[in-house]
Amino acid sequence: MHDHEALLFELFAIFLAAKVIGEIFERLKLPAVLGEILAGVVIGPYVLGWIHPSDTLSSIAEIGAIFVLFHAGLEIGPQDLIQVGRKALLVAVAGIVVPFVFGFAYMHWRGDATTESVFVGAAMVATSVGITARVLGDMGVLSSRTAKIILGAAVFDDILGMLLLAVVDGLAQSAGVQWVKLGVLAAEAVVFALVMIFIGPQIIRRIRPGMARLSTHNAPLLVALTVCLGLSYAASQIGIAAIIGAFFAGMIFAECSPEWDLRPRVHAITEFLGPFFFFSIGSQLDVKLFNGEVLTVAAIVSLLAIVSKVVGCGLPVMSEGWNTVLSVGVGMMPRGEVALIVALVGLKSQIVSSSTYAIVVFMTAVTTVLAPPLLRYLFRKEVAAQARVALGSRH
Amino acid sequence: MHDHEALLFELFAIFLAAKVIGEIFERLKLPAVLGEILAGVVIGPYVLGWIHPSDTLSSIAEIGAIFVLFHAGLEIGPQDLIQVGRKALLVAVAGIVVPFVFGFAYMHWRGDATTESVFVGAAMVATSVGITARVLGDMGVLSSRTAKIILGAAVFDDILGMLLLAVVDGLAQSAGVQWVKLGVLAAEAVVFALVMIFIGPQIIRRIRPGMARLSTHNAPLLVALTVCLGLSYAASQIGIAAIIGAFFAGMIFAECSPEWDLRPRVHAITEFLGPFFFFSIGSQLDVKLFNGEVLTVAAIVSLLAIVSKVVGCGLPVMSEGWNTVLSVGVGMMPRGEVALIVALVGLKSQIVSSSTYAIVVFMTAVTTVLAPPLLRYLFRKEVAAQARVALGSRH
């Protein structure tokens, strides 16, 4: 009984802090999501210490992340993903290779051990798509071509990143890299993605007429929620992030979303649960790790992290103009919780020193915090165009 | 990382089972909520044992219950509650006194100890409003006068029940009854309820014009969610159930709900989180406790539990006709998780024997399972009238 009271306080405090700081940020013309992350930094364990992480809170944050991606997926049909597929794949591959090489080379040049350098490289690779999805969603530009390239690339990035994490994890357990296991993982992930893109929507189209025959109120929403939970679980079982499963679930239902009124309802759930995810990202940032000595290297690594993603992810879309190059690069920039997990794996197995860990944390903070306002700037034309359309349709 | 995967599986399995059995029940013309409870019985720890209770699951269930009551509250403005206030209070008081006397007298007559009889009496008092609110909501009759009397009485019942629980808890800790503490508790609860009914809506009316000036997207929904979490916490701090705070939060926003489109959005959140609450009620029912010896007494206690609530709660609304008498009595009938908590307190402090505990569990199961189909039957005219209105407005 008492635990429930503590949880209610935490939920209330987190939601209030996230929304109040979010509102302040909106008024300063900064993205609300940044305010929610900052709320996590401030009232989280490392600054004020009002809220301490717990199993329950991290579970709710995870469910929140699932809904952020489910909601984003609802905007992007499988055709959209196929259309941008080749480009998205190139963006993902280059967006992994370039940051890894940059990170590894710099740390190695500084005189760090090879394995430690590999960890920093790996941490620079991961894209945290939740933040980008939220910012693009808040601006209402998820259906733009650039947004589709970014989200498509983020999906591939996650699959490739998962393979890299398996390599890194093998290094951490000093078991070496298990190539067979890696091959199986890769095959599973590719099959999962292909099934989702090509077969998933077919199945929904088949069951579509039957939906009206269900007796349950709001049957389509409930079926969609069930599929979302099921695919999140399936993805996590395969070894991809659960949120990628949720994204695919959204994509599968994208076509039927207008008919079944799914988006506003899923959005309401996301509005409630999402802030707990962004708060938890902030609450994982230990600002006390930053000190003079670390800061210089951290600043350089952060710069490399930014430049390498823009170069790597931008290269394959050069033909679409500078604005797209920058938008895609910045959209793929936030490292979020994924980099923190990589660094934590290294820290726990004592391959990564605590100062290197601090460097990764700093890089994560910088890329996570810079991406939302930059995205907002880069997408300003799309937003203005949307506003004109909305205004036009009202007259 | 591994815990998250286990949780995803549990969420998926619970949601799927609840919705599939719910759909089957709907087709059998039985309330879906019963199917969700049955899902908890079947795949919960006591039958198939696929899902075991965890902190996280019970927290999500608690949040689900909060949304079920928040959603119900949105339909009932403070004026409605004031209008039915005197009657609801009488219903609540008689609905506590009669079942307590029936339960206590029967157990005492059977030769059970006085304290044990007090526990059974107390368990027969508690009304689990979540189930009734859900059934009435599913039928779309929350705004009927009878529904308002039931929900108003349930709120008073909870406050009075809380005081009784404090008495029982004092007995369990063999500290005797602390009358001063009890008086403070009672005063706090009354002040809380009065503030909610008379001052809460005023405050919302004041901040209403300012809401449009907030920069956050969907500001009204987010403010309502914050208030809901805050009042749930406040209620639990005072010692009333958190769900009563959530109900008041809904009531406060009831007036602005159409303007801000709150109901469909809160409903979507409830659709996602609610099933975990009903599932958890079912998962707490240990059917293995029922054996021949216990069953006879359990059947009698269950019958007394039903009759006493119908008599107690029905008496004050005799003037409104038989249908109202039965509707109110049945609406207040389900004991749900509240009775289980009372019995568990007794069991843990060894005042209540395991066979008496089984009796309470049985009584809870019977009242919880019978109420939804009976309610559906008793409200059939209102539902038909509503259907005619809906049909008429379409032509």
pLDDT band at B267 (very low <50, low <70, confident <90, very high): very high
pLDDT band at B135 (very low <50, low <70, confident <90, very high): confident
Number of C-alpha atoms within 13 angstroms, CB side, residue A338? 32
Average confidence (pLDDT) over B146-158: 86
State yes or no: pLDDT of A291 exceeds 60: yes
The partner residue sitting opposite B22, judged by closest CB among A27, A59, A216, is A216
Model pLDDT, residue B174: 62
A271 touches chain B (CB under 8 A): yes
Q: pLDDT per residue over A88-106, tens digit each?
A: 889 989 988 999 999 999 9
Partners of residue A222 in chain B, C-beta under 8 Å: 19, 271
The partner residue sitting opposite A3, judged by closest CB among B27, B55, B138, is B55
- Cβ of A222 within 8 Å of Cβ of B60? The answer is no
- Cβ of A8 within 8 Å of Cβ of B236? The answer is yes
Model pLDDT, residue A1: 40
Output the six-digit token pair for B201: 């809506």
Average confidence (pLDDT) over B359-365: 85
Model pLDDT, residue A117: 87
Q: pLDDT per residue over B168-218, tens digit each?
A: 776 766 666 677 777 888 888 888 888 988 888 888 888 888 887 887 778
Model pLDDT, residue B1: 40
Cα gap B260→B258, rounded to integer Å: 6
Q: Among residues 80-119 of chain A, which lie with CB inside 8 Å of chain B?
A: none
A347-386 burial string, b = 16+ CB within 10 Å, else e?
bebebbeeebbbbbbbbbbbbbbbbbbbbbebbeebeeeb
State yes or no: pLDDT of A389 exceeds 80: no
Model pLDDT, residue A135: 85
Model pLDDT, residue A394: 52
A218 touches chain B (CB under 8 A): yes
B5 touches chain A (CB under 8 A): yes
Cα gap B61→B70, rounded to integer Å: 14
Plot region of A53 (φ>0 → left; ψ -120 to 50 → alpha; else → beta): beta
Model pLDDT, residue B193: 85
pLDDT band at B394 (very low <50, low <70, confident <90, very high): low
Q: Mean pLDDT of all residues in chain B?
A: 85
% of chain A beyond a pLDDT of 90:
21
How far, rounded to the nearest angstrom, does the alpha carbon of residue B146 sit from its chain's CA centroid?
A: 16
Which of A2, A12, A345, A383 best probes binding to B when mutated, by most B CB atoms within 10 angstroms?
A12
Average confidence (pLDDT) over B249-278: 91
B233 touches chain A (CB under 8 A): yes
- Cβ of A215 within 8 Å of Cβ of B27? The answer is yes
Window from A41-50, A212-221, A320-329, B261-270 with minimum mean pLDDT: A212-221
Which range of A326-340, B53-67, B197-211 scores highest in mean pLDDT? It is B53-67
pLDDT band at B15 (very low <50, low <70, confident <90, very high): very high
The partner residue sitting opposite B269, judged by closest CB among A22, A27, A269, is A269
State yes or no: pLDDT of A253 exceeds 60: yes
Length of chain B in residues, anyone? 395
A229-262 burial string, b = 16+ CB within 10 Å, else e?
bbbbbbbbebbbbbbbbbbbbbbbbbbbbeebeb
% of chain A beyond a pLDDT of 70:
95
Which helix (DSSP H) or strand (DSSP E) does residue B145 occupy? helix B145-172
State yes or no: pLDDT of A2 exceeds 60: no
What angle, rounded to 10 degrees, do the helices at A114-125 and A354-378 form?
A: 20
Cα gap B343→B123, rounded to integer Å: 6
Model pLDDT, residue A177: 65
Model pLDDT, residue A230: 96
Give the DSSP letter string of A317-330. GGGG-HHHHHHHHH
Instruction: Indicate if the alpha-carbon torsion angle A164, A168, A171, A173 is positive or negative.
Output: negative
Give the DSSP letter string of A179-203. HHHHHHHHHHHHHHHHIIIIIHHHH
Cα gap B236→A251, rounded to integer Å: 40
